[in-house]
Amino acid sequence: MTDLTIRRAGTDDLPAIVAMLADDPLGAARESPDDLTPYLAAFARIEADPHQHLVVAERAGRTVGTLQLTVVPGLSRKGSTRTIIEAVRIHADERGTGLGTDLIRWAIDRSRELGSDLVQLTSDVTRTDAHRFYERLGFVPSHLGFKLPL
């Protein structure tokens, strides 16, 4: 990870982040890189919440990855704090280079620093390659997730 920098995202990073979010069949159907207005509003909410950590990975001054960590204090598991890893994206040119592994390992280490006892994430059922990737990193598919659009 010597040539990789992981840092907190700023508003200048939004075009690159949204482009990565839109750069797959699922994201292409639900993201709008042409209009950053809703993303700017969401970014302001993320920045205002100390439990949110939106980061970008840079290589040679270029944004090549992103993810968001959310720290959730809870009562279950004897009052454990968990970190949710969300919206993991790697630039198409960087897939298969080990960047995803570096980014997730960074997120796990950062979660420990933030006092979390557990790291969890979800992955769309169609992303079978991602499922194998997360299992190689030690994640266990222990739960079935449900969503309800509002």
142: Cα separation from own chain's centroid: 19
d(CA 119, CA 71): 9
Whether 119 has a pLDDT exceeding 70, the answer reads yes
pLDDT in tens, 12-53: 999 999 999 999 888 888 898 899 999 999 999 999 999 999
- For the beta sheet containing 81-90, the strands, ordered from the edge strand earlier in sequence to the opposite edge, are 4-8, 52-59, 62-73, 81-90, 118-121
- Report the relative pairing of strands 62-73 and 118-121 from DSSP bridges: unpaired
Binned at pLDDT 50, 70 and 90, residue 108 comes out as very high
Whether 1 has a pLDDT exceeding 60, the answer reads no
pTM of the model: 0.92
pLDDT in tens, 89-99: 999 999 999 99
CATH architecture observed for domain 4-136: 3-Layer(aba) Sandwich (3.40)
Mean pLDDT, the chain, whole residue set: 94
